[in-house]
Homo-oligomer: A and B are copies of this chain.
Amino acid sequence: MSNIREVALTAGVSVATVSRALTNPEKVSEESLKKVHDAIKAVGYTPNLLARNFRAAKSFAIVVLVPDITNPFFSQVIQAIEDRAQQKGYAVLLGDTRETSKREQEYVNRVETRLADGVIQLRPQSMSSSTQKIPWVNACGCEGTPGPSIRVDNIAATKAMVGYLTSLGHRRIGVISGLKDNPHSIDRLQGYKSGLTAAGIAFEKELVAEGDFTMWSGQNAAKQFFRLKQMPTAICSMNDEMALGATQALKAGGLRVPEDVSVTGFDDIPYAKYWEPGLTTMAQPAEEIGKLAMDTLLRVIEGEELSNLELVLPTEIVIRQSTCAPPAN
């Protein structure tokens, strides 16, 4: 690889001028700048960006912390972040935290030590207190997640989904939650309860089955309902993956979806549409969330104080084949 001295020689300027042209171009005459750029091209010189970034104290990379990259909802959000980051000249460092704080901290260290300029946190919680000083944005968070926060209204959305089920005539509605202390589970359970209350239905603890947002756990949760004296006529799942696992278990147990049991999801991942039966779900604007998260993080990196910013994006019920009126009897 050629070096800065060759560039200077070819351009007929001093090494200092080349250096200035690369770091403080506004201090170099247009004429010299052109000479330097032509020379860079001619000799095939690649400036050492690591060195440049050291001077600029910027790495032009951001970290995305994601609880589980194999969840297709998150991979859609990440794809949108990555698109926007590319447009803005940033690379995306991927931190699959597997829900552990230790791994999260390792990535945060990269920001504190300037290997990245900021963090988009896709876990539904605030960053640990030691990291409040670094630029960060929460996306896909919950009610009360410290800002800047780009999210949907999980409570209202779940309430609306329960409202849709009660409008079909369902009165005995089960819910499959994520882990009980997960903020999404807490918000969506509150929405579920509000939906029941709005329809004059009493909350029954036995109708809550706990999963962990994976298909496997949705399958297991549905099996819990089989042990009840009376099955629910509808199951409201807190995400699509668990809903898909649940329909599988219901059908394996000899029940028809939706004729015997209606099932709903949350997210609208691509599989929801192709499932049999097609899954009725609450669509989240994954692409919009990703774009806005990146744009907001760039504003924070530039020094804007946005900790009170809370962008709540609309959700939408997508009605497919997994829901109908409850069986007559």
Contacts and interface: CB of A to CB of B under 8 A. Distances in A.
Interface of A: 46-51, 53-54, 57, 59-61, 63-64, 69-70, 72, 75-76, 78-79, 82-83, 86, 91-96, 103, 106-107, 109-110, 112-116, 215, 219, 244-245, 248, 251, 270-271, 274, 276
B245 A274 contact: yes
A49 B107 contact: no
Contacts of A215: 270-271, 274
B49 A78 contact: no
A107 B92 CA distance: 10
Given A54-B54, A94-B92, A115-B50, A70 B61 contact: no
A49 B106 contact: no
Interface of A is mostly: helix
Contact of A276 (B53, B57, B79, B276): B276
A38 to B, nearest CB: 20
Contacts of A61: 61, 93, 115
Number of identical protomers: 2
Contacts of A107: 91
A248 B274 contact: yes
A103 B245 CA distance: 36
Contact of A51 (B54, B63, B248): B54
A46 B133 CA distance: 14
28 contacts: A48-B113, A49-B110, A49-B113, A49-B114, A49-B115, A50-B50, A50-B53, A50-B113, A50-B115, A53-B115, A54-B54, A59-B115, A61-B61, A64-B94, A69-B75, A69-B82, A72-B72, A75-B75, A82-B94, A82-B96, A86-B103, A91-B95, A92-B93, A94-B94, A215-B271, A244-B274, A251-B276, A271-B271
Nearest to A113: B49
A212 B92 CA distance: 26
The 3 A-B pairs of least Cβ separation, nearest first, read A49-B113, A50-B114, A94-B94
Contact of A78 (B69, B83, B270): B69
